[in-house]
Amino acid sequence: MSTVAGETGSGCGAAEWTAAESVVISRAVRNAPSVHNTRPWSLALRGQTAELRERPTVLAQHDPDNRDRRLSCGAALANLVLAIRGLGRTTEVALGTSAGLVTATVTATGHAEPSVAERRRSEAVLDRRSCRQAFDGTGLPESTCGALLDAATAPGITGRWISGAEETLGVARLLTYAARVFQGNADYQRELAAWTTTTGEGLRRDGFGERGLAAVGLATERTRLPDEYALATRMRREAVLVVAARPDGPVDQVRAGAAVEQAWLEATSRGLAASVITQPLHLTEVRSGLTAGLGLAGAPQVLMRFGVPLGR
């Protein structure tokens, strides 16, 4: 395995994870968001290391480049590191690829209390979920937007809020275009239906968005698509963040997924609701349209929507 990144901590002996620690770590990883809820990773705990490996699950229609699979592994990696930090251990992370699949090895190297943000985010791991319903339209305070943007920022990973009427309309135009393309693609719709469930694993049908941005972020045959003006109006009632990566290789996509999850947990810890959207970004013309239209510093990976849940 080639090691391409790391964070360091102090050294300590190589005792085994206790049974209680293993439960905390495994549960945190299992609760990470993933494309179609596929959990495309495996986790092995040995000695004082935890090894996360990308599993070659295939979503030929939805995720032809396996981009979402690696973003999902990144989200699982964020939860893994936060779980270990929540246990009061320092971590060293080595990211690499083996036979075309990404591997992340996290080693517990010493002892140190988690920071306030790490504590809050690790405690939010089990509460985080996709909320594709409408938000209450209240704007987020500037300080909250700043904290979410900070959480989504990492080396090579940048966040950018979508703001202003013109910019929002430009993005809405790209998203309605993408939703129409996916809605008209019978092979795509067959695959999506196969992953949609009423119980158990996969995408929960009762969690689908009915209107607005969340609905066009997972367009099914039944989605009633708004026109671009109606969508732009709805988008202006939400805080919408684009997360981009440069460069745009497999390891960078894992890092982007980790940054997305950090921002999602930051939002959860503040009582906010969120959901993520990648479906439209699987079209090259949408990715390049967003990059040009927003002047992004890297390749767009994920759209995140945040807001105050209705009825709070």
Ligand X SMILES: Cc1cc2nc3c(=O)[nH]c(=O)nc-3n(C[C@H](O)[C@H](O)[C@H](O)COP(=O)(O)O)c2cc1C
Residues at the contact surface with ligand X, assessed by CB under 6 A = 33-37, 68, 71-72, 75, 129-130, 132, 203, 217-218, 275-279
Task: Show the CA angle centred on residue 255, arms to residues 96 and 92, nearest 5°.
Answer: 60
CB 203, min distance to ligand X, A:
5
For ligand X, the closer of residues 25 and 243 by Cβ is 243
State the nearest-atom distance from the C-beta of 98 to ligand X, in Å: 21
Residue 193 CA to residue 188 CA, distance in Å, equals: 9
CB of 172 to ligand X, least distance (A): 16
Instruction: Give least dist CB 249 to ligand X, A.
Output: 16
When the beta carbons of 90 and 176 are compared against ligand X, the nearer one is 176
Q: Which is nearer to ligand X, 108 or 239 (CB)?
A: 239
In whole angstroms, what is the distance from residue 61 CA to residue 42 CA?
23
- Of 70 and 89, nearer to ligand X (C-beta) is 70
240 strand-pairing partners: 305
Which residue, 72 or 109, has its beta carbon nearer to ligand X?
A: 72
Which one, 108 or 277, has the nearer CB to ligand X?
277
Q: How far is CA 54 from the centre of its chain?
A: 15
- Using the minimum distance from each CB to ligand X, give the nearer residue, 143 or 198: 198
Residue closest to ligand X (Cβ)? 33
Q: How far is the CB of 247 from ligand X (least distance, A)?
A: 18
Looking at beta carbons only, is 48 or 72 nearer to ligand X? 72
C-alpha to C-alpha distance for 245 and 243, rounded to whole angstroms: 7
Q: How do strand 101-111 and strand 89-98 relate by DSSP bridges? A: antiparallel
CB of 285 to ligand X, least distance (A): 17
Provide the minimum distance between the beta carbon of 125 and ligand X in the complex, in angstroms, as a whole number.
11
CB of 143 vs ligand X, minimal distance in Å: 26
